[in-house]
């Protein structure tokens, strides 16, 4: 009886993961349809938002585009690697006897790739910050805080209701 329950749970987990991965693949294929030009266009469309919001000069915008060209190529390569490793993870999970060692190894590798993606994002925002004047930098900080929904959450534990947050706020007054 227990084995049947475990198989049923595994079956539903596999279906759930398959749906997630099919959605991810569809998104990736849709994004990659326009080849690398589409990637560059996506990069510039997000930079267009920042150009408008920060009121960047044409020179600042050109500089940030040049600084970020390598970052976005690395970012795309990391996304491709992450997708490949996630499929390996899914494949291993669908085996009759998945190897815990292999699953752990894949999870570790995906974690390292995710770290690489975050590092590229950090470099991107540091590049933007490097070309901003003081007013633009203040606007950028507000945009970043808004993107992370930090106005409503504690910056330390990411909870909306945090006793420590209130203590920290009152300590700063």
Q: Over pLDDT 90: what percentage of the chain?
A: 31
Reported as a pLDDT band with limits 50, 70 and 90, residue 69 is confident
Q: In this structure, are residues 74 and 120 in contact, taking their beta carbons and an 8 Å threshold?
A: yes
In a domain, 105, yes or no: yes
Residue whose C-alpha is closest to residue 75's, from 39, 46, 107 = 39
Count of domains observed in the chain: 1
- Per residue in 82-122, pLDDT (tens digit) is 999 999 999 999 999 999 999 999 999 999 999 999 999 89
In a domain, 8, yes or no: yes
Residue whose C-alpha is closest to residue 85's, from 114, 48, 63 = 114
What are the Cα distances from residue 48, in Å, to 18, 42, 86, 113, 150?
35, 10, 31, 27, 23
Domain extent, residue 90, equals 2-132
pLDDT of residue 145: 76
In a domain, 147, yes or no: no
Mean of the pLDDT values across residues 41-47? 54
């Amino acid at each position: 009886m227990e084995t049947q329950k475990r198989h049923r749970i595994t079956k539903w987990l596999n279906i759930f993961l398959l749906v997630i991965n099919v959605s991810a693949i569809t998104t990736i294929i849709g994004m990659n349809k326009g080849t690398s030009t589409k990637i560059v266009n996506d990069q510039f469309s997000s930079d267009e938002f920042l150009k408008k919001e920060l009121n960047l000069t044409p020179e600042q915008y050109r500089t940030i585009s040049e600084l970020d060209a390598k970052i976005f190529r690395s970012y795309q390569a990391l996304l491709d690697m992450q997708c490949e490793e996630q499929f390996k993870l899914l494949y291993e999970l669908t085996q009759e006897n998945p190897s815990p060692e292999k699953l752990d190894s894949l999870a570790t590798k995906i974690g390292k790739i995710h770290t690489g993606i975050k590092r590229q994002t950090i470099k991107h925002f540091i590049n933007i910050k490097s070309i901003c004047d003081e007013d633009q930098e203040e606007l950028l900080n507000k945009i970043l805080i808004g993107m992370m929904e930090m106005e409503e959450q504690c910056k330390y534990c990411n909870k909306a209701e945090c006793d420590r947050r209130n203590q920290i706020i009152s300590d700063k007054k």
